[in-house]
Amino acid sequence: MDWLQLFFLHPVSLYQGAAFPFALLFNYLCTMDSFSTPARYLFLLAGGGALAWAAMGSFAVLVLIPALCAGVLISSLGPRDVHRWAFFFQMSWQTLCHLGLHYTEYYLQERPSMRFCITLSSLMLLTQRVTSLSLDLCEGKVKAEARGIRGRSSVLEHLWKTLPYFSYLLFFPALLGGSLCSFQRFQARVQGSSSLGPRRSVWALTRMGLQILGLECLKVVLRKVMGAGADLTDCRQLQCIRVTWSTAALFKLTYYSCWILDDALLHAAGFGPEFGQSPAGEGYIPDADIWTLETTHRISLFTRKWNQSTAGWLRRLIFQHGRAWPLLQTFAFSAWWHGLHPGQVFGFLCWALMVEADYLIHTFANLSIRSWPMQLLYRTVTWAHTQLIIAYIMLAVEVRSLSSLWLLCNSYNSVFPMVYCVLLFLLAKRKHKLT
């Protein structure tokens, strides 16, 4: 494996890397007074269109059409109706595209086009921005720029006022990846000046590059340790636990690398943490908190920190509005948003049960365990158990075939979530008796 393959192991990384010079150029131009606010919106929008065409080819229309429709809905409907209609349209469009993937994979038994997979990933991110903006309008956090068209003479004026919406939905630093950026933060960044000095920017980007290089090197080492052909079809009994953990570790390292690269692109364009907070007080939320993810002994904390900008979006969109079983509703919607593959449905529902069990187990343990040696032992055991359960869930979500999911469920790995399910039943029954 050469160094180019080592870095660009994920196909999206190639296009994200190609966008870096344009992100730096945008950040540099923002230091000039002659680079007006409308020109900045147009630069980000044009960059998004160009990047979509380069990465997705003709499939780019599957992203451009819903972005255009969402922009029209957002600029035309009132605050009370905008979120409901934007959510319905965006999720309907995304579901139809995911059904196309299901048709290719399960009915035709063909490998889907990589460009189509990139398109679906970008479409999922577009759904985040559309619903985040529609919620902001519904909750009054963002003031609507325009409402309807009164005459032919106002068409251009209407389009000009909605330019920030279209630019936000398609701005190129977040088109293929990256933390969810709120519209308030996006608008404050575009209307403000560049927040990074050359030395500070170079140091931050160098640090991120070294982190990515270190993670990719760890992946190479882990592959060599695992050996060729190590999967659930070849393992036996306890060996399957090692295979599951190591395979999930490869997935996590890949996610960490991609998240850091995505954050680096946002940073290069000036949308990173150094820009500060939006007027509404919403700061930058990075997706990768590697230290917490790898050291926590609580599944609930892992869930909040895993892809944490998406976790926050799901909490705001579903959990906070759920009247009955909000946790289950949130994970069920997450499975829908990801595409409703069989492994995803099973994995996310299992994840919901594990989080619910985690709350009861740790509440009971905090009341029962007093001595520090027992607390240390408890944290060590629950850390290992958490990592193994997360590995189990991750493989369930990532597998695409029912046969692979069946192998996972029939392996010794199922013991770990089953233990939490039994504890959930016992502690829930005990809690019910006490109340």
Q: Do residues 424 and 356 touch, judged by C-beta distance below 8 A?
A: yes
Is residue 115 situated within a structural domain? yes
Residues 428 and 354 in one domain: yes
Q: Do residues 133 and 167 touch, judged by C-beta distance below 8 A?
A: no
- Dihedral angle, C-alpha 424, 415, 417, 375, nearest 10 °: 70
Q: Which of 256-260, 271-275, 352-356 has the lowest mean pLDDT?
A: 271-275
Residues 173 and 270 in one domain: no
Is residue 1 situated within a structural domain? no
Amino acid sitting at position 71: G
DSSP 374-394: HHHHHHHHHHHHHHHHHHHHH
Residues 172 and 212 in one domain: no
Higher pLDDT, 389 or 4: 389
Amino acid sitting at position 176: L
SS3 call for 133: helix
CB count in 10 Å sphere of residue 362? 17
Residues 136 and 221 in one domain: no
Residues 116 and 238 in one domain: no
Residues 167 and 219 in one domain: no
SS3 call for 267: helix
Is residue 252 situated within a structural domain? yes
Residues 185 and 238 in one domain: no
> Among 158, 191, 224, which residue terminates a domain?
191
Amino acid sitting at position 248: A
Is residue 4 situated within a structural domain? no
Is residue 5 situated within a structural domain? no
> Among 191, 221, 245, which residue terminates a domain?
191
Amino acid sitting at position 147: R
Instruction: Round the average pLDDT of the chain to a whole number and report it.
Output: 87
- In this prediction, residue 140 has a pLDDT band, given cuts at 50, 70 and 90, of confident
Residues 61 and 164 in one domain: yes
Residues 125 and 151 in one domain: yes
* Percent with pLDDT over 70 in the chain: 89
Residues 68 and 95 in one domain: yes
Is residue 3 situated within a structural domain? no
Instruction: Judge whether residue 279 has pLDDT over 60.
Output: no
CB count in 10 Å sphere of residue 279? 10
> Among 156, 175, 191, which residue terminates a domain?
191
Which residue, among 263, 253, 256, has the nearest Cα to 285 in the 3D structure? 263
Q: Do residues 396 and 347 touch, judged by C-beta distance below 8 A?
A: yes
What distance in Å separates the CA atoms of residue 129 and residue 139, rounded to the nearest whole number? 15
- In this prediction, residue 234 has a pLDDT band, given cuts at 50, 70 and 90, of confident
* Residue 355, both tokens: 């989080």
Q: Do residues 287 and 262 touch, judged by C-beta distance below 8 A?
A: yes
Instruction: Judge whether residue 25 has pLDDT over 50.
Output: yes
Instruction: Judge whether residue 8 has pLDDT over 50.
Output: no
pTM of the prediction? 0.90
Report the number of distinct structural domains present in the chain.
2
Q: What is the pLDDT of residue 75?
A: 86
Question: Which residues belong to the active site?
Answer: 307, 338
Name the burial class of residue 78, with classes exposed (0-12), middle (13-18) and buried (19+) by CB atoms within 10 angstroms of its CB.
exposed
Is residue 2 situated within a structural domain? no
Q: Do residues 422 and 276 touch, judged by C-beta distance below 8 A?
A: no
Q: Which of 8-22, 71-85, 331-345 has the lowest mean pLDDT?
A: 8-22
What residues have CB less than 8 Å from 145, skipping those under 6 apart?
75, 161, 162, 164, 165
Domain that holds residue 163: 11-191
Longest dimension (CA), the chain: 76
Residues 184 and 203 in one domain: no
The separation between the first and the last C-alpha atoms of the chain, rounded to the nearest angstrom, is 60
Instruction: Judge whether residue 294 has pLDDT over 70.
Output: yes
Is residue 165 situated within a structural domain? yes
What distance in Å separates the CA atoms of residue 319 and residue 210, rounded to the nearest whole number? 37
Residues 91 and 119 in one domain: yes
Q: Do residues 129 and 170 touch, judged by C-beta distance below 8 A?
A: no
State pLDDT tens for residues 307-317: 999 999 999 99
What distance in Å separates the CA atoms of residue 396 and residue 331, rounded to the nearest whole number? 14
Q: What is the pLDDT of residue 195?
A: 54
248-252 contact pairs (CB < 8 A, 24+)? 248/390, 248/391, 248/392, 248/394, 248/395, 249/222, 249/391, 250/219, 250/222, 250/223, 250/226, 251/394, 251/395, 251/398, 252/293, 252/394
